[in-house]
Amino acid sequence: MSKKLRPVLIGTLGAASVAALVITTPAFSSAAPAPVAGVSVLAAGDLSAPAKKEIAMKLVSSAENSSLDWKAQYKYIEDIGDGRGYTAGIIGFCSGTGDMLELVEAYTNSVPDNPLAKFLPALRKVNGTDSHAGLGTPFVNAWKQAAATSAFQTAQNNERDRVYFNPAVSQGKSDGLSNLGQFAYYDAIVMHGPGDSSDSFGGIRKAAMKKAKTPAQGGDETTYLKAFFAARKVIMKQEEAHADTSRVDTEQLKFLNEGNFDLHTPLKWKVYGDSYTIN
């Protein structure tokens, strides 16, 4: 994740940063009609459809990496000084929060003889801290070496989907949300992490549902998404690293105000003042 967006941790890591919550809720038909203001509908799309998923990856990358080229981030790794150790890869896996450890374990299960396998003991020791003990430059170089292989790229894709993308889309469909709503969930779980604490994706969703009903509950999607955005911005503004809410205000809210629930192209938006377009 970008330096602007990784939360600065004070003391121990929050609950949103630990074990992933995999949501297993039933999907609704992608053949449902498009949302109309004031009308309750179920999910109008499927963000996991290849073309829509590619758009989602680019949208997140614009905020996380200031680039639409999300595939260039497999090799990315650095300590951005946020208290989570190393941040790396296409979704900002962190050595201090457990998701990097789970990624390297999964990668090693499928490719035992890989450049990162020897660092597993060190990754287990530093989990939950910002320590580089047993890692350092050799680990950074090994990450970049592994990232040049299709096997490690596949491992990153799989963990992104398992921990972040699939749970967000599944919950979005269960809540009767469109492609835009499903993306709003995905972007939130990427930044805030899965879980039920107030500063996690689950906590933000719960706060929004106290203000508005989801479409699946008979509510209007526009009203619900505005409540979700407002709840998320409260959490974002609690931390300096998240205080700029433009990824909501000049991206997601812009699409909502345009009525672009399907995320149809062309898409034009801004994040941190930088302009982006997907044709």
Residues annotated catalytic, as ranges: 64, 82
Dihedrals phi, psi of 189, to nearest 5 degrees: -70, -30
- SS3 label, residue 148: coil
Distance CA 59, CA 158 (A): 19
Q: Dmax of the chain from CA atoms? A: 57
Residues 6+ apart with CB under 8 A from 34: 41, 44, 178, 261, 262
Query: Tokens 């993306």 correspond to what residue?
Result: 183
Q: Are 53 and 44 in contact (CB under 8 A)?
A: no
Q: How far is CA 215 from CA 15, 39, 56, in A?
A: 28, 8, 21
Displacement of CA 241 from its chain's centroid (Å): 16
Among 203, 213, 169, 208, CA closest to 187:
169
Distance CA 141, CA 204 (A): 37
Beta strands in the chain (DSSP E): 77-79, 86-88, 93-94, 267-271, 274-278
Displacement of CA 1 from its chain's centroid (Å): 9
Dihedrals phi, psi of 88, to nearest 5 degrees: -155, 160
